[in-house]
């Protein structure tokens, strides 16, 4: 069945770059999303990429998509303590069905 | 921020009691969703709605029912709550389905504890 995988934890030092990786199984996925969840809050959409794109950049965020390997990554440049959160990768398959990964908990060390 | 309100935000109840969670939106979006979030599982879809009185099951629908009598309200009911339904429940909305690029926007969640 359709699945999205992520590593569960990542720890980086403030000012470094963070790279959060995600793999998905459904090659027909049309849109791939990154969401951020802060403690006690809902998911906030950070960015998304359409499957015919390789890269998307939005300020400190860079999304890379390797469609052949079904691999998605989110790079956060100059990571700040306010970036500490859980990051969810999600893949949109048929008819608005969205599959979420388990989330990667990012800890930023001052 | 998308206008989504979940109520209640927190609830503690006993096994066997009925529970209803409410999601209210002010965006007039057609699609509404209920997810549960559990450690290590991410978000799993319980039920979703693609219009008034139009609903369908998600991947973890057993033990849950939903109703949508108005565009703005989507109710999730646990007919007889069990401890395995202790979770954080999120409502989401989106403007379009199919191959549209409209992402889902989420409410702030309801933390439900069943003792």
Q: Where is B45: in which H helix or E strand?
A: strand B42-51
Are A103 and B42 inside 8 Å of each other by CB?
yes
State residue A1's pLDDT score.
67
State residue A94's pLDDT score.
66
State residue B59's pLDDT score.
87
**Tokens coding B13:** 């109840």
Say yes or no: B31 contacts chain A, CB-CB below 8 A. yes
Are A48 and B43 inside 8 Å of each other by CB?
no
State residue B102's pLDDT score.
67
pLDDT at position B101 over 60: no
Parts of chain A with a pLDDT under 50: none
pLDDT band at B40 (very low <50, low <70, confident <90, very high): confident
Are A43 and B40 inside 8 Å of each other by CB?
no
Q: CA B59, CA B36: separation in Å to the nearest integer?
A: 11
State residue B99's pLDDT score.
42
Which chain B residues contact residue A39 at CB under 8 A? Answer: none
Instruction: Report the residue from B40, B42, B99 with minimal CB separation from A30.
Output: B99
State residue B4's pLDDT score.
94
Instruction: Report the residue from B40, B99, B106 with minimal CB separation from A102.
Output: B40
Say yes or no: B54 contacts chain A, CB-CB below 8 A. no
The answer for A15, left when phi > 0, alpha when psi is -120 to 50, beta otherwise, is left
Average pLDDT score over residue span B2-23: 95
Q: How far is A19 from chain B (nearest CA, A)?
A: 19
| Range with the poorest average pLDDT among A48-57, A70-79, B9-18, B66-75 | A48-57
State residue A30's pLDDT score.
81
State residue A51's pLDDT score.
87
């Amino acid at each position: 069945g359709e699945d999205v995988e992520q590593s569960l934890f990542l720890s980086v030092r403030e000012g470094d770059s963070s790279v959060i990786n995600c793999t998905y199984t459904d090659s027909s996925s049309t849109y791939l999303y990154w969401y951020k969840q802060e403690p006690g809050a809902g998911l906030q959409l950070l960015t998304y990429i359409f499957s015919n794109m390789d890269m998307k950049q939005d300020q400190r965020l860079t999304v890379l998509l390797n469609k052949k390997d079904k691999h998605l990554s989110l790079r956060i440049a100059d990571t700040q303590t306010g970036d500490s959160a859980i990051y969810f990768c999600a893949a949109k398959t048929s008819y608005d069905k969205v599959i979420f990964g388990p989330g990667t908990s990012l800890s930023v060390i001052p | 921020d998308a206008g989504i309100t979940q109520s209640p935000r927190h609830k503690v109840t006993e096994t066997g009691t009925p529970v209803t969670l409410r999601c209210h939106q002010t965006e007039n979006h057609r699609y509404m969703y209920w997810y549960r979030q559990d450690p290590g599982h991410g978000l799993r879809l319980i039920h979703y709605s693609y219009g008034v009185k139009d609903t369908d099951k998600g991947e973890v629908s057993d033990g849950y029912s939903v109703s949508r009598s108005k565009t703005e309200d989507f109710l999730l009911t646990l007919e007889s709550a069990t401890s395995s339904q202790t979770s954080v429940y999120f409502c989401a909305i989106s403007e379009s389905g199919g191959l549209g690029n409209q992402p889902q926007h989420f409410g702030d969640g309801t933390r439900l504890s069943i003792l």
